[in-house]
Amino acid sequence: MPGMKRVRIGNGCGFWGDNLDAPVRLAESGQLDYLTLEYLAELTMSILAVQKAKDATAGYATDFIDVLARLAPVMHKQRGLMVVTNAGGMNPRACAERAKQVFAGAGVEKKMAVVSGDDLLPRLDELFASGHHLNHLDNGTPLSDIRDRVVSANAYLGAKPIADALKLGAEVVITGRVADASLTVGPAAHEFGWGFGAADLDRLAAGTVAGHLIECGAQVTGGLWINADDSTRLEDVGYPIAEVAEDGTFTVSKPEGTGGAVNVETVSEQLLYEVEDPSQYFTPDVVADFTTVKLSQPRPDVVGVTGGTANGVTDTYKVSVAYRDGFTSAGTLVIAGPNAVQKARRSGAIVLEKLKRAGLTFAESRVEVLGGGDCVPGVVNATADPPEVVLRIAVRDPRRAAVERFTKEFAPLVTSGFPGTTGYTTGRPPVREVFAYWPALVAKSAVRPHVEVL
């Protein structure tokens, strides 16, 4: 529709550990209204929870602070550029206070807001007492069964508190655990005045499609694309921009001149990423129906997206719980020469047999031969006898001492194993604590999202 208001939202980070240059390059070249930065995964939350338990000022994605220091001059020049991020993790207030210091040091003034209320860990006993049992979604077990091992419990908040923060004048919004797509839906809802009731559900669903497509960064602009090759220039891959219109239609593109690719294939691949039922993509804001999405390619590196309608709305939030579940270690060796696959499998068995003779068996153990078809078992098979393979042996067990004993069985193979055994150059593999994942639901009425403008 000609003349319709549009907003440009670019995502410069798909996870904690993504390219540190991408947000700055996107902000500099993308002509954005909003820059979103998505840092959180289930494992990330457990790591941040442990950090916060040791230090009350920690528990957020520290990469964001480094990125913000480089973004400050860009934001000083581009006065209208807003930033929305879930980098706050387990401690959004501390993250925001540190961000304020960065801006102050750069001589930049930005109004900042914090979205919290997702952290349910301090309220678990209260929730149990009021009938919210946070039963495991797969087996129905109540969370109270492992209460003493829980390290984090966070509800996935939606877009409304982000939109509320922007309405209050925030130019930088830092959240805790917010659903990935909601980082995009929030700015769109604010800009276009979308409500969160029945009248605007289709628009929220379309915004959710946009958010889902750009939430993983370069994964929609050529990263992991099945037809990527050297001409795709992934070393210079551009990060995605969703240009959203008031009616919910939008385009996906990337900054001009950057590497990567935006086409119907790359967008289709990302559309189906982490989707079980395309007709019911559950988010805190809306249940989106991806089967109604239509893609077009009006010009190179621009894909038009229409459709994405609502299929209802839930009265619950998803909750991600992490709990302590023992210890693990994994080590590798290179096995070279004739019959490498067979020698590697036997070497793995030898390690476990020696440990068994020493009185040690493990809750879980695994022997993998990388290069022998074990990366995707039963799907990709080795077609010939490879000249070398990587042997990987891993164990998990509640007993740390047992796992530590396992780490001492790699070095002996270098002299007492098969010929061609090598690659033992970094010492014994480390022992790590295991944080297991517990998915649950909680009534929205039991969660209290909170917006605070600093």
246-249 CB contacts, 8 Å cutoff, 24+ apart: 246/4, 246/5, 246/6, 246/192, 247/1, 247/4, 247/203, 247/206, 248/202, 248/203, 248/205, 248/206, 248/207, 248/308, 249/206, 249/304, 249/305, 249/306
Residue 224 has what pLDDT? 96
Average pLDDT over residues 399-423: 96
Residue 147 neighbours by CB distance under 10 Å: 13
Question: Can you tell me the distance from the alpha carbon of 124 to that of 144, in angstroms, rounded to the nearest whole number?
Answer: 9
Residue 425 has what pLDDT? 80
Residue 377: pLDDT above 90? no
Q: Which fold has domain 326-435?
A: Alpha-Beta Plaits (3.30.70)
Average pLDDT over residues 64-68: 97
Residue 24: pLDDT above 80? yes
Residue 3 has what pLDDT? 61
Average pLDDT over residues 293-308: 97
Give the global pTM.
0.94
User: How long a stretch of residues is the chain?
Assistant: 454
Under the banding of pLDDT at 50, 70 and 90, the label for residue 384 is confident
Residue 29 has what pLDDT? 87
Segment 327-354, tens digit of pLDDT: 999 999 999 999 999 999 999 999 999 9
Residue 1: pLDDT above 70? no
Segment 171-209, tens digit of pLDDT: 999 999 999 999 999 999 999 999 999 999 999 999 999
| Mean of per-residue pLDDT scores for the chain | 96
Residue 414 has what pLDDT? 94
Residue 260 has what pLDDT? 98
Question: Can you tell me the distance from the alpha carbon of 230 to that of 237, in angstroms, rounded to the nearest whole number?
Answer: 12
Under the banding of pLDDT at 50, 70 and 90, the label for residue 277 is very high
Percent of the chain with pLDDT over 70: 99
| Structure-block tokens of residue 32 | 């954005």
Please report, for the chain, the start and end positions of each structural domain, with discontinuous segments joined by +: 6-118+156-314, 326-435
